[in-house]
Structure 1
Amino acid sequence: MPCSAVTLSLATIFGILSVTLLTIAFTTDNWINVEVRRNNIQKYLTNNGNNAETQAVLEDINSKYYYYSRTRGLFRICYPKERPPTDAVKTYLSPVETHCNNINYYFPDTDNETSDFSEDAITKLYMSRAVIALFILSFVVTGISWITGIMGCWVRGAGRIAVTAALTLLSCLLAAGAMGLWHTVDYYEREKLVGEEFYQQWSQVLRDQSRISYDWSYMLAWASVVTQFLTALLFSGAALCLRNEKDREEAINMQYIMPVYPQKQQYAYASYPAPPQAYPGPYYHGAAAQYGPYNY
């Protein structure tokens, strides 16, 4: 089997896999999992009396959404176990029958709600928007690369396959940039932003009884970036294979081309008339040649 056929087949498989993984990651809500052990918090409140700290936690445990276990995606925060009361946050049923609320990106900010945001909060908001924009651009570039890839496979053109490899690599870099920005947003929320819903101002008992971890949607997103990079490498290899195969075919075809060169004798005879015979016949051979034409 030709090298190009193998690499193109593998590139197609990895390309479809990368788009599938990124689509699932982009649309699901399991990037971060925050597990809150509410039972342990309630035991803590029971065992530590009625001091100022426990009183504040007692007021918040049933009225603040961050005291409930939740998963966070790019667009929604969902509550797979208990859901917070409606006066704390308005939720709705997602397509997978989980109570969720949307993440507000304030786009467009028609009421100028971000005017009171701190500098760090504004920076985090812009980076969050950029994450979504970069992922959408990655999808668009992937779609263009599929078009060039189909055309390249149809005509077996090494140049078009090379363009497909470049576009796939660009799509991979866009997705990787989105992932890097997403990590920066996560860092801002945990370490820099100030507010009751952010980690820096959580009560100590809430910090102790919460476990924050990356979830499977996040894993799928990074797996998609890796498979996109492998797809770009495979398309590059396919372009090299196609170029080498065409060079070999041209070399083989050249062996069957027999050049015809003009002969000088043909031109000599064509230019000058044939010389006359020095001794015109008839000619006699054998015994008759001794006596000439007359034999008396």
Structure 2
Amino acid sequence: MARSMIALFIVSFFFVFVAFWTGVAGCWRRSPGNIASTAILMLLACLFSAGGMGLWHGVEYYEEEKLKTEPWKASWDPILQVATTVQYDWSYMISWIGTGMALLAFCLFLGASQCMQGEQQREQAKQMQYIMPVYPQKQQYPSYGYGYPGPYHYGSQYGPYNY
């Protein structure tokens, strides 16, 4: 379980690393799809980090229960057993704070993706009034024996004024 805990934290760090680059690309291109994939990667990082912390608590519980048996803590003097305490240091607190921050980042990136998608849809709705459907014209232009329509001036290429 202790080795699996370390593996889960490594996978979590990998997801954070990949989420960083997809987030940079999503912000650079203002792409709601990239931002949504960043949110999903942050959710995966949060889940793997929480799984690692869950395994850490499992290992701690298993070791504490094992220490209660005869060759270890049970054989200590009662004064020593009472005076022994377990304390969690800064790395324990930081790892839970990091797991919570990964969850918060997931929520914020998901909200940003939804906002950007709504913004793009509103922008497209504004542009729709300028989009005119183009249909092929069925009418024939009079060609006067030439292959293209238009006004023709006989005599000079500069118009009817120069004869």
Q: Quick one: percent identity of the two aligned structures?
A: 50
Unpaired runs of at least 5, structure 1: 1-126, 271-296
Residues 191 and 200, structure 1, Cα contact 8 Å, conserved in 2: no
| Pair 263,211 (structure 1): closer, same or farther in 2 beyond 3 Å | closer
Aligned pairs for 1:25-174 within 5 A: 127-174=1-48
Residue in structure 2 matched with residue 16 of structure 1 by the alignment: none
Superposition deviation, residue 268 in structure 1: 8.8
How far the C-alpha of 1:216 sits from its partner, in A, is 2.4
Structure 2 residue aligned with 1:176, among 50, 56, 63?
50
Q: CA RMSD in A?
A: 2.3
Separation (CA, whole Å) in 2 of partners of 1:151 and 1:142: 14
Unaligned ranges ≥5, structure 2: 143-163
Show the 5 A alignment for 1:135-284.
135-193=9-67, 194=69, 196=71, 198-259=72-133, 267=139
Point out the structure with the larger strand share. Answer: 1
Q: What is the distance in 2 between the residues matched to 1:226 and 1:199?
A: 34
Counting helix residues as a fraction of each chain, which structure ranks higher?
2
Larger radius of gyration: 1
1:174 deviation in Å?
A: 0.6
The change in CA–CA distance for 1:205 and 1:247 in structure 2 (over 3 A counts) is same
TM-score normalised to structure 1 length: 0.44
Inter-CA distance 131–199: structure 2 relative to 1 (3 Å threshold): farther
Give the secondary-structure state (helix, strand or coil) at the position aligned to 2:122.
helix
Distance of 2:135 and 2:7 partners within structure 1? 66
Aligned residue pair count: 141
